[in-house]
Amino acid sequence: MIETIMVAMVFMVVLIVALTFYFKFSSQGVEKAGQQACLVSNTVLLASVASMPEIQCSVNGHRQQCIDTSKLLLFDATREYPEFFTTNCHQRVSFLVLSPEATNGACSLGTYPDCSTYVFFDQGEVSSGAVKISTPVSLYYPLTDSYALGKLQVEVLQ
């Protein structure tokens, strides 16, 4: 009887150790799949933000392939499009002016149009391990009727 109990206890210990390793490796696979899904959803977000009619340039009601910087200052993306920013990961969406270089940093009503970063959506602090996805955009300045080269950047905060 004691031998049967000892064999059953050894079997249970081996089973518990095996299940622990199985679930540990299984959870790592799920985490990697979640991170991959996060990157894919943010790539789709990149294309969606660039085509939002609320921030695109328009001439006589016809949309142009550029981003109106004056609209970027006033538009609140989280209020108008909450479904875009309810993903399983944190992100920061911003428009950066590349050329000509601006002297001031973040854009506000006080620094417009001489600023370099329009923060469109920010969900947390940027870490050094953030994955950055970007695409070039044309930025339009209606006050001076001029264009600048910029990029739309989505930073996936990990």
pLDDT tens by residue, 89-110? 778 888 999 888 767 788 888 8
pTM of the model: 0.72
- The first and second tokens of residue 34, run together, are 């979640």
| Model confidence pLDDT, tens digit, residues 19-30 | 998 888 888 877
- The first and second tokens of residue 61, run together, are 């009601």
Provide the domain limits for residue 14: 2-157
| Model confidence pLDDT, tens digit, residues 112-155 | 878 888 888 877 665 667 788 889 999 998 888 889 999 998 88
DSSP strand E in 29-144: where? 56-59, 62-68, 90-99, 104-106, 115-122, 131-141
CB of 50 within 8 A of CB of 153? no
- The first and second tokens of residue 129, run together, are 């391990």
Number of domains in the chain: 1
DSSP 8-state code for residue 103: S
End-to-end CA distance of the chain: 55
